[in-house]
Structure 1
Amino acid sequence: MLLVGRSNLSLRCPLSQVRLFSNSSILQISRKNEPQIRTPSKKAQAAKLRRKEEIAKKLYDRLPKLSLATAISVLRAVEVANPAATYELFVKTKIGSGTAVPRGRVNLPREPKPKAEDKILVFADGRQAEEAKRAGAHIVGGPELIEGVLSNRHRATTILCTPSLIRVITPKLGRFLGPLGLMPSVRRGTVTEDIVGYIERLRGTSEWRADSKGSIRAPIATMVFPPNDVVTNFRQFILSIKRATGHVKDPDAPASERKLQNGRHTTPITTVMLSSSKGPGIRIADWKD
């Protein structure tokens, strides 16, 4: 009751005697003293990332390495109740700025699953166009195919081009096919005079490609394969990666491609692991053999 009385008395006071509350200097000072969130600089962020990579590398280096034969035995034991499980190959390459993402083709002696058929589109004219059709190319033509490619009317898994037409298609298709990894290029050998030879080399092969961080993942066998078949597939896939990263020269490549291989930068291979559907990742000690 006393508080109510005092409240009533204060209401009867003249307006000039009523204290009005406003933003004071005390409140402003307290706001200045509030802790502010600092955004780390790019240099600090890069240093933090390097520390994380060093820690991850130390942890990785502690993992034991096994021979390929031993790793296969361990994974077969883990997947004894799951014969449909697959062996998964993981390869980590070190790519820097301006380094092309590794990619290539491999012909496994025994495929772990049915291969999807390649659909080949060839930009060629004249005699080379006729030869490409006879060799098995699905779509063959000149600049008139450009609009069909841009509208997705012509879809292909592999696109080849003759040197005489590459300058014609690049201005319109470079930005469209480049991000898809389908743009013909001299480096990859898809700009070539020997269209027939390239198509013949495609038969029976599958394409693989690393991701933006340089990691390659691919199934190479199933648990029902005999260990010798798993070893053969592993060696064949690793050989394909070595060729694509510049560690081994491809003797079957055309002369123009071999010249590029001689001047190509070697991409380091830092990690090779074998795992299974439910099994652990095992570092392979003898992958260089």
Structure 2
Amino acid sequence: ETVELHLRTALDPRHAEQQLRGTVVLPHGLGKDVQVLVFVEGEGAKLAEEAGADYVGSDDLVKKIEGGWTDFDVALATKEAMGKVTRLGRILGPRGLMPSPRAGTVVEPEHLPKAVRDAKAGRVEFRLDRTALVHVPLGKVSLNEEELLENMATLVEAIVKSRP
């Protein structure tokens, strides 16, 4: 079971200048093993594998996902691979798995190791929904109270910093 934080804000999500969005790496992670998939070709594939990515590939992964497979928690991609990944939008988008530059999940090949490590360490994305709420996981109930509180403090600090 997951402990989540739901914050009500005074922002109006209908106004572009009042959008709230960002990512933060939680100090104690989410308390679960995160499955990371990386869309990459060439040299970057080796870097992603060495950094601990669970699934690395390009065309092969695109075909697998088109077949209905989505057994992963985070999808990363290089800019070069995004051309192939965009056609997965209708599958990955509704599940919140579509790589996007805004979310920090589309990266340069040389930044893949850090992106994979961050994803594995428990990087979470937060954004304002259409009712001006922010919904974010803090961790599993298996984490102790102190760890959950530290995760919450880090998260609230990141949200305050990214407020418009």
How high is the TM-score relative to the length of structure 1? Answer: 0.45
Return the alpha-carbon distance in structure 2 between the equivalents of residues 89 and 118 of structure 1.
19
Q: Helix, strand or coil for the counterpart of 1:198?
A: helix
Return the alpha-carbon distance in structure 2 between the equivalents of residues 219 and 164 of structure 1.
31
Return the alpha-carbon distance in structure 2 between the equivalents of residues 123 and 88 of structure 1.
29
Q: 2:133 aligns with which of 192, 215, 223?
A: 215
1:245-264 to structure 2, matched below 5 A, reads 246-247=162-163
Return the alpha-carbon distance in structure 2 between the equivalents of residues 151 and 145 of structure 1.
10
Return the alpha-carbon distance in structure 2 between the equivalents of residues 175 and 219 of structure 1.
24
Amino acid at match of 2:112: I
Return the alpha-carbon distance in structure 1 between the equivalents of residues 121 and 152 of structure 2.
17
Q: Helix, strand or coil for the counterpart of 1:153?
A: coil
Say if 2:155 is the partner of 1:237.
yes
Deviations, residues 191-216 of structure 1 (Å, cap 9, x unaligned)? 11111111122233252545542323
| Higher relative contact order structure (alpha carbons within 8 Å, sequence separation ≥ 6) | 2
Q: Which residue of 2 aligns with 1:91?
A: 7
Q: Which residue of 2 aligns with 1:173?
A: 88
How many residues are matched?
Answer: 153
Answer whether contact 1:157 1:182 (CA < 8 A) is retained.
Answer: yes
Return the alpha-carbon distance in structure 2 between the equivalents of residues 96 and 127 of structure 1.
42
Amino acid at match of 1:200: R
Change (3 A) 1:219 1:205: closer
Say if 2:69 is the partner of 1:153.
yes
Return the alpha-carbon distance in structure 1 between the equivalents of residues 107 and 124 of structure 2.
18
Q: Which residue of 2 aligns with 1:137?
A: 53
Amino acid at match of 1:240: A
Higher strand proportion, which one? 2
Deviations, residues 143-177 of structure 1 (Å, cap 9, x unaligned)? 2211211223352111011111112221x212221
Gaps of 5+ in 2: none
Percent of residue pairs bearing the same amino acid type: 25
Return the alpha-carbon distance in structure 2 between the equivalents of residues 215 and 197 of structure 1.
29
How high is the TM-score relative to the length of structure 2? Answer: 0.74
Say if 2:98 is the partner of 1:204.
no
Gaps of 5+ in 1: 1-86, 248-265, 267-289
Change (3 A) 1:101 1:183: farther
Larger Rg: 1
Change (3 A) 1:216 1:134: same
Amino acid at match of 1:124: V
Alpha-carbon offset, residue 124 of structure 1: 0.5
Return the alpha-carbon distance in structure 2 between the equivalents of residues 186 and 219 of structure 1.
21
Q: Helix, strand or coil for the counterpart of 1:179?
A: helix
Alpha-carbon offset, residue 125 of structure 1: 1.1
Say if 2:23 is the partner of 1:104.
yes
Answer whether contact 2:62 2:84 (CA < 8 A) is retained.
Answer: no
Answer whether contact 2:103 2:125 (CA < 8 A) is retained.
Answer: no
Alpha-carbon offset, residue 89 of structure 1: 4.2
Q: Helix, strand or coil for the counterpart of 2:121?
A: coil
Return the alpha-carbon distance in structure 1 between the equivalents of residues 153 and 53 of structure 2.
30
Amino acid at match of 1:197: K
